Amino acid sequence: MTELIIPAIVSCIVAFLTVYLSTPFLIKYLQKQNQTVQDVNKPGNIMIPRPGGPSIIAGILLSELVLYAFLQLNEILAVMITSFLAFLIGYVDDKRVLSGWFKPIALAIAATPIIFLGAYDSSLAFPIFGDVQIPVLYLGIIILMIPITGNTINSIDVLNGVASGFMTIASFSLSIALFILQNYEMAIVSLPLGLVSLAFYKYHKNPSKIFPGDSGALALGAMYGAIAIVGQIEIIAAVALLPAVINSFLFLASMKKVVEHREIKGKPVEHTDDFKLKATADETAPITLVRIILAGGPLTEKQVGFHIFKLGVFSGILAIITAILVGVSL
Amino acid sequence: MKELYGFLFAMWILILVGGAIVVTILGPIAITGFGELDWLVTSAIQGGIAVSLVIIWIFILLKIKNWIFKKEIKS
């Protein structure tokens, strides 16, 4: 355990500083290249640079490289390659509009390095009742996990700071769970995700100076999914991600098909005169987490984000309780 | 907002219950009598049960969603 302290500290510093220091340069570069999109939840025509994915992936790769230099684990390579492939898929999607099915299929392919590097264990750990060995079925879980976590994080990237803020909460919950389960190596591998998300949140929070784009959101989501697999905490990871899972679930249940946000005609949310967010009565619009939160009445963008963070903390606590229950056996 | 926390909690309970079913029913399945194909038959049956469980899980979740959010969804 003590030999892991230095790698942990160095990788955390590298993760945080890489994103914290590189993002202002990326913002200037994107502004110069006119790579900006309108912030639709702000009055006027405010243009925000996008994507912030390059600084996010730089933070992930550099910090995990530091860890690999110390630990030489295939699990670290699997996390790095999967996150990078997800970043590339998102970057293509940032540049051109792709079909709703492209990302899930491409992300499933991005999960294959975990299999080829053998960075997984085919048992699934459940709370209280113990483990179950499912060698063949587990390959399917790996292939499904990365598209689910990637798209789930991407789908909550709808308001200033929500994706990076929520990911900070969820990934630190994951790290705490790994420490509880005494999987110290994987706990250290997971720490950079929280610090990368936290450093990016500094620029992404309301009012945003940069948006992560699909490249940033998919890189964060894929890294989260990869850590869940290599750390053997798939169920705990799913619990920590529940608010975002609810968003995807409500969306799919109302739309009844996989569809890109850009292809949806009905608007789930509109603005009041003082530019607060308000749920619409549009029946063609998807039901989303934000729409449900706004059912109680109009709120500012910051207030909605804060509600999502509170849900994130609640599910994070449930994830930690789940980790404790995994250690309990009947 | 209370409804959302309730829905989150219901999902968590469903995960715990699902885990119990998976460990007690899915895990111990071991089909024999097919020679070298035993693992394939076992995996196919486990896969079939897992998919069925997921479908049941989604169905229950839809029912809970409609029950918890009936006011919000109508608004």
Assess whether pLDDT exceeds 80 at residue A93. yes
Instruction: Tell me the count of A-B CB pairs closer than 8 A.
Output: 90
**Torsion A157-A115-A327-B10 (CA) sign:** positive
**Residue B46 and residue A134: Cβ atoms within 8 Å?**
yes
Average pLDDT over residues A24-48: 91
Which residues, at least 6 apart from A188, have a Cβ–Cβ distance to it below 8 Å?
A4, A7, A8, A11, A67
CB count in 10 Å sphere of residue A48? 20
Peptide bond into A207 cis (omega under 30): yes
* Minimal CA separation from B19 to chain A, in Å: 5
B29 touches chain A (CB under 8 A): no
Judged by DSSP in three states, A133 sits in strand
Of the candidates A280, A279, A252, A261, the residue with the CA atom closest to the CA atom of residue A214: A261
Average pLDDT over residues A270-278: 84
Number of domains in chain B: 1
pLDDT at A189: 95
Which of A134, A241, A249 best tests the B interface by mutation, with the highest count of B CBs <10 A? A134
Which pLDDT tens digit goes with each residue over A123-139?
A: 888 888 888 888 788 89
Which pLDDT tens digit goes with each residue over A66-91?
A: 999 999 999 999 999 999 999 999 99
pLDDT band for A111, please (50, 70, 90 cuts). very high
Residue A129: closest C-alpha in chain B = B20
B38 touches chain A (CB under 8 A): no
- Residue in A279, A311, A325 closest to B75 by CB: A279
Query: Which tokens sit at A264?
Result: 């949806």
Peptide bond into A24 cis (omega under 30): no
**Residue A127 and residue B16: Cβ atoms within 8 Å?**
yes
For B10, the domain range is 2-74
The Cβ-side half-sphere exposure at B26, using a 13 Å CA radius, reads: 30
pLDDT in tens, chain B (75 residues): 778 898 899 889 988 888 888 888 877 888 888 887 887 888 888 888 888 888 888 888 888 877 776 655 555
A50 strand-pairing partners = none
A249 touches chain B (CB under 8 A): yes
CA distance A6 to A121: 27
CA distance A85 to A211: 20
Chain A residues in contact with B47 by the CB 8 A cut-off are 136-137, 140
Q: What are the C-alpha distances in Å from A139 to residues A83, A117, A134, A308?
A: 18, 13, 9, 32
CB count in 10 Å sphere of residue A109? 13
pLDDT at B72: 57
Which pLDDT tens digit goes with each residue over A229-245?
A: 999 999 999 999 999 98
**Torsion A141-A142-A147-A150 (CA) sign:** positive
Q: What are the C-alpha distances in Å from A196 to residues A14, A318, B43?
A: 9, 23, 39
Phi and psi torsions of A279, nearest 5°: -70, 140
Long-range contacts of A25-34 (CB under 8 A, 24+ apart): A26/A52, A26/A54, A26/A55, A26/A210, A27/A203, A27/A209, A27/A210, A30/A210
- Residue in B27, B46, B69 closest to A292 by CB: B69
- Residue in B7, B27, B73 closest to A287 by CB: B73
**Residue A130 and residue B23: Cβ atoms within 8 Å?**
yes
Assess whether pLDDT exceeds 90 at residue A251. no
DSSP A259-313: --GGG--S-SEEE-TT--EEE---TTSPP-HHHHHGGGS-B-HHHHHHHHHHHHH
**Residue A129 and residue B23: Cβ atoms within 8 Å?**
yes
Burial of A292 (0-12, 13-18, 19+ CB in 10 A): buried
pLDDT at A263: 65
**Residue B15 and residue A238: Cβ atoms within 8 Å?**
yes
